[in-house]
Chain A
Amino acid sequence: MPLSRDEVRHVAMLARLGLEPGDEDFYAEQLSGILEHIDRLQQVDTEEIPPTAQVVEIASRLREDEPRPGLTQEEALANAPAKVDGFFRVPAIQEEA
C-alpha cells in the first residue's frame, strides 16, 4: 500500500525535515517503492529461524566502570552553531499548552 501524503508529512516532521510544496508526492512514491521492496522479505519462510536483533556474533561485551578523560568544555562546544557561558544555545522549546 503506498504511503499517503499525511504519512510522509508525519515522518518528515519526526525527522525534522522541511518539505517543499509537491515534495510529499515525490517522496511518497519513492518511500513506497522502498517499502514494497522490503515487503518481499515477508515472503520468506522464517518458521524455523530464531528471531535476532543482531547479525554480529558477539554478546555481553561490557566495560569496567573506570573513568576516562573526555573533552574539555572548549572542545565540546567547538562545533556548536551558538553557545553562551559554556552552554550550547538553542531556540526555545514551546511546550506549554
Chain B
Amino acid sequence: MEVHVQPKTRTKMFCGCAVAPLNAPPNTYVCEICLGLPGTLPVANKAAVEACLKTALALNCEIPRHTKFDRKNYMYPDLPKGYQISQYDLPMSVSGHVEVATRKVRIRRVHLEEDTGKLVHAGDKLHKAWESYVDLNRAGVPLMEIVSEPDLRSADEARDYATELRTLLRAIGASEAEMEKGQMRVEPNISIRRAASDELGVKTELKNINSFRALHRAILFEVERQTQVLESGGRVVQETRGWSEAEQRTFSQRSKEFAEDYRYFPEPDLPPLEVERTWIDELRRNLPELPSVRRARLLDHLPAAQVAVIGADRELADLYENAVARGAPALPTANWIVNEVAPTGKLSPPENLAELMKLLHDGAITRDSAREVYVESVETGRTPAEIVAEHGYAQVSDESELRVLAEAVIDANPKAAADYRNGKKQAMQALMADLRKRAPHANPKVANELLLKLLA
C-alpha cells in the first residue's frame, strides 16, 4: 500500500507559500518557486522534515544519516517544473513496521516529496474533455509517502492498516490525515495468488480512493475482477486503475504516452540532508504515547468494543482518561463517550464530563436529562451542576410522587395496561414511554418498579 499524507505545516515543502485552505480561489497561494519560474531555488521546510522524522520513528523505521532529494521527471500540466522533487534511493527512513490487529505490517520506507497542482477537466468525463484548467495552489504542498511491504492479506486488513496510520499520525501530531480533505490518500496495490502458493500474481494499483469505505470496496471489487480474469483464462495486466465511486468499479487508466520513465536524478538545487542524531533523539524523547500502547492500557479495564472506538481517536482517549482521573466511573464514562460523544463530535472539558457522569451514576439525573445537560454544557461552557440546578433536571425518585404518576399513566393507557396483564410484556415499553413524556425527570428504575407493582 502506498499512502500519501500531508504533514501538518503552515507552508509548502520548498517555498514560503502558505498551504491553501480548501476552496481557496485558484492560483492565489503560489510564488515564483512553486510555479517553477526560472532562476528560483527551493529550500526544504524544517517542519515537514520534522513531521516525516516523527512518523518514521512512530513506525519503528531506521533513519539513515544521509538522505537527499531527487527529481522525478515527467510532463503533465499539473506539474509546473516538469519534474516533482521526491526521494529515490536515499529516503528519509526505511525498514519499519506497525502492528495492525494481529498482523505485523512491514514499512518499506517513508519519504518526503511535493504535491502537484489540480486539474479541472471541462466536459462531463475525462475522456471527453476538450481542455483542462490548472490550479497550482497545491503544487509544492509537502507530502510524506508511506510505503508498506506486501503484508496485507485482505480488504479488511488494508482498511485497518489505513485506519491505524490515521490514528497514529494524529496521535503524534504529524498530520490531520483527513481523507475527505485530501490530506491522506491511499493507493492499494493488489495481486492475487493461488492457494498454497507464495508467489504473488501480477499487481494493479488503484487510485482515486477518497474514504476508508471506498478503499474496502475498491479492493473487494478488484480482487473479484482479477479472479474472474484468471478463471476465464485471461491474464492480469500490470496497470493503474481508477476507482469510480459513482459506478462502484475500477477502470483502466492506461496511457501509452504516459509510460513510466521518470529518469530520476539527484536534485542539484538542494544540498543533501544530514539528519543530526541529537535531533532524532530529541524527537524520540518527545514522541507522545503511541496508540497501540494506549490501547493495551485501556484494554486493562475496558471491553474491546469500547477500546476500538476510544482508542482510535486521541481526543476521545484523552477525554476518557482525564474524566476518569477526575473520579468519573470507568465503564459508564466509556459508554457515554462511545454513544454520545463519538457520533456527535461534541467534546466537553474532562472535568465537566466527570461531574455529569457522577450525577448520572448517583441517580441524581436521568439519562435523558444527562444528554440535554451534556449538549448545553458543551455549547455554553457552564458546568453540569449549574445547568441541572437551573433547569430543575434533578431526578425525581420520591415514591409517593411517582406512584401518582404511575397510576395516571395506567389510567391513560387502558389497552397497554390490559395487554401487559394478559402477558404481553412488551406493552410495558409503551407505558414507560408515556411516563417519561409526562415526567422526563422521573427516576426510570423506581417508576418501572412501581408500574410493575401496580399491574401485578
Q: Are B133 and A88 in contact (CB under 8 A)?
A: yes
- In the complex, A15 Cα to B28 Cα: how many Å? 29
Q: Are B136 and A65 in contact (CB under 8 A)?
A: no
Most B C-beta atoms less than 10 A away, residue of A15, A64, A84: A64
Q: Are B129 and A73 in contact (CB under 8 A)?
A: no
- In the complex, A61 Cα to B269 Cα: how many Å? 11
Q: Are B131 and A63 in contact (CB under 8 A)?
A: no
Residue numbers in A under 8 Å from B35 (CB-CB): 71, 76
Q: Are B122 and A92 in contact (CB under 8 A)?
A: yes
Does B331 have its Cβ within 8 Å of any Cβ on chain A? no
Residue of A with least CB distance to B47:
A65
Q: Are B10 and A67 in contact (CB under 8 A)?
A: yes
A44-84 near B? 1/0 per residue, CB < 8 Å: 00000000011010111111111110111100110000001
Does B27 have its Cβ within 8 Å of any Cβ on chain A? yes
- In the complex, A56 Cα to B268 Cα: how many Å? 9
User: Known contacts being A60-B274, A63-B43, A95-B255, is A87 close to B126, with CB within 8 Å?
Assistant: no
Does B438 have its Cβ within 8 Å of any Cβ on chain A? no
User: Known contacts being A86-B26, A89-B131, is A67 close to B18, with CB within 8 Å?
Assistant: yes
Q: Are B11 and A59 in contact (CB under 8 A)?
A: no
Q: Are A59 and B271 in contact (CB under 8 A)?
A: yes
* Count, chain A residues at interface, CB 8 A: 39
Residue of A with least CB distance to B261:
A14
B348-363 near A? 1/0 per residue, CB < 8 Å: 0000000000000000
Q: Are A58 and B271 in contact (CB under 8 A)?
A: yes
B201 CB, min distance to chain A CBs, angstroms: 21
Does B301 have its Cβ within 8 Å of any Cβ on chain A? no
Residue numbers in A under 8 Å from B339 (CB-CB): none
B135 contacts which of A63, A66, A87 (Cβ < 8 Å)?
A87
Q: Are B9 and A73 in contact (CB under 8 A)?
A: no
Does A6 have its Cβ within 8 Å of any Cβ on chain B? no
Q: Are B75 and A16 in contact (CB under 8 A)?
A: yes
- In the complex, A85 Cα to B130 Cα: how many Å? 17
Q: Are B127 and A65 in contact (CB under 8 A)?
A: no
A1 CB, min distance to chain B CBs, angstroms: 19
Residue of A with least CB distance to B142:
A65
- In the complex, A59 Cα to B132 Cα: how many Å? 40
User: Known contacts being A63-B16, A87-B134, A88-B27, is A97 close to B252, with CB within 8 Å?
Assistant: yes
Q: Are B261 and A73 in contact (CB under 8 A)?
A: no
Residue numbers in B under 8 Å from A59 (CB-CB): 271-274
A97 contacts which of B10, B76, B255, B274 (Cβ < 8 Å)?
B255
User: Known contacts being A68-B16, A70-B17, A93-B77, is A60 close to B275, with CB within 8 Å?
Assistant: yes
Does A43 have its Cβ within 8 Å of any Cβ on chain B? no
- In the complex, A10 Cα to B90 Cα: how many Å? 28
Does B292 have its Cβ within 8 Å of any Cβ on chain A? no
Does B254 have its Cβ within 8 Å of any Cβ on chain A? yes
Chain B residues touching A, majority SS: loop
Residue of B with least CB distance to A88:
B134
A88 contacts which of B136, B258, B271 (Cβ < 8 Å)?
B136
Does B150 have its Cβ within 8 Å of any Cβ on chain A? no
Residue numbers in A under 8 Å from B130 (CB-CB): 92
B132 contacts which of A62, A66, A92 (Cβ < 8 Å)?
A92
Does A38 have its Cβ within 8 Å of any Cβ on chain B? no
- In the complex, A84 Cα to B74 Cα: how many Å? 25
- In the complex, A66 Cα to B35 Cα: how many Å? 19
Does A39 have its Cβ within 8 Å of any Cβ on chain B? no
Does B25 have its Cβ within 8 Å of any Cβ on chain A? yes
User: Known contacts being A65-B47, A70-B17, is A93 close to B119, with CB within 8 Å?
Assistant: yes
CB-contacts of B38-53 with A (<8 A): 43-49
Residue of A with least CB distance to B75:
A16
Residue of B with least CB distance to A10:
B261
Q: Are A67 and B16 in contact (CB under 8 A)?
A: yes
Does B165 have its Cβ within 8 Å of any Cβ on chain A? no
Residue of A with least CB distance to B49:
A62
A12 CB, min distance to chain B CBs, angstroms: 12
B249 CB, min distance to chain A CBs, angstroms: 14
A60 CB, min distance to chain B CBs, angstroms: 5
Q: B residues bordering A, Cβ < 8 Å?
A: 9-11, 15-18, 25-32, 34-35, 43-49, 68, 73-77, 90, 119-123, 125-127, 129-136, 251-255, 257-258, 261, 263, 266, 268, 271-276
Known: A72-B28, A73-B27, A87-B134. 13 other contacts (CB 8 A): A14-B73, A53-B68, A53-B90, A60-B276, A62-B44, A66-B11, A66-B16, A67-B10, A70-B31, A73-B26, A76-B136, A94-B257, A95-B253
Which 7 residue pairs spanning A and B have beta carbons closest together? A68-B16, A70-B31, A96-B127, A87-B133, A65-B47, A53-B266, A88-B134
Can you spell out 18 A-B residue pairs with CB atoms less than 8 angstroms apart?
A54-B68, A60-B271, A61-B271, A62-B44, A65-B47, A66-B11, A67-B10, A67-B17, A71-B30, A85-B133, A87-B120, A88-B136, A89-B133, A90-B134, A91-B132, A92-B121, A93-B126, A94-B257
